[in-house]
Amino acid sequence: MGEKLWYVVNTYSGHEAKVQEKLLSRAESMGFQDYIFRVIIPEETVYETKKDGTKVEKKKKMFPGYVLVEMIMTDEAWYVVRNTPGVTGFLGSSGKGAKPIPLTPMEIDKILIGMGMSRVDVDAELKVGTKVDIVDGPFKGMSGTIDTIDAENSRLTVLIDLFGQETPVEVELFQVSIIG
């Protein structure tokens, strides 16, 4: 089975929520929950000041006409996404049957962190004892085992082998990648 990566899907402008809903229901009804995981509309919170001086909180789409899909790219999963009503294609695909290019971890982290989310689905994927690779920061390139999870602050304590001794290090969620 392939790797779970993030892809950008182009939609008709204004149809992002419908595409999100349809894609998730199609994945469930067609048995693709093991290939299509999260569908996100990138939004940010903006504050507008009304004429009377009151501030109003609004959600603004970061990329109108696009949704982010976390999936394992297979021919079948690709077909399901491409043929969802409202989807016009994948960003990073040249057409002619070419598979799209996924977002890099740095690109998706910037978007998700701005939304208060993480590339790693804490509730579903992380457990004490899970093996992870550290992909960013001073311990980049090292592997270890999760010792504690602080989901509220998006931090983990990972036990790594440092000079032959098991050493706890604190890392941000975006700095790890799950092994396997």
**pLDDT tens-digit profile of 93-139?**
766 677 889 988 778 878 887 777 766 666 666 788 888 888 878 88
Same domain, 142 and 107: no
- Same domain as 97, residue 25: yes
Whether 40 has a pLDDT exceeding 60, the answer reads yes
Q: Residue 1's pLDDT is what?
A: 57
Do 114 and 136 sit in the same domain of this protein?
no
Mean pLDDT of 57-75: 91
Shortest CA distance to 119 belongs to which of 132, 138, 101?
Answer: 132
Q: 136 or 51: which carries more pLDDT confidence?
A: 51
Are residues 100 and 157 located together in one domain of the fold? no
Q: Are residues 172 and 112 in the same domain?
A: no
Instruction: Count CB neighbours of 59 within 10 A.
Output: 10
Do 37 and 66 lie in a common domain? Answer: yes
Residues 137 and 111 in one domain: no
* pTM of the full structure: 0.70
- Mark which of 100, 118, 136 sits at the end of a domain: 118
What CA–CA distance (Å, rounded) separates 25 from 33?
10
Q: Which tokens sit at 151?
A: 């989901």
Q: What is the mean pLDDT of residues 153-169?
A: 88
Instruction: Domain of residue 145: give its range.
Output: 124-178
Q: Give the total number of structural domains in the chain.
A: 2
Provide the CATH number for the domain around residue 142: 2.30.30.30
Q: Based on the domain organization, do 114 and 139 belong to the same domain?
A: no
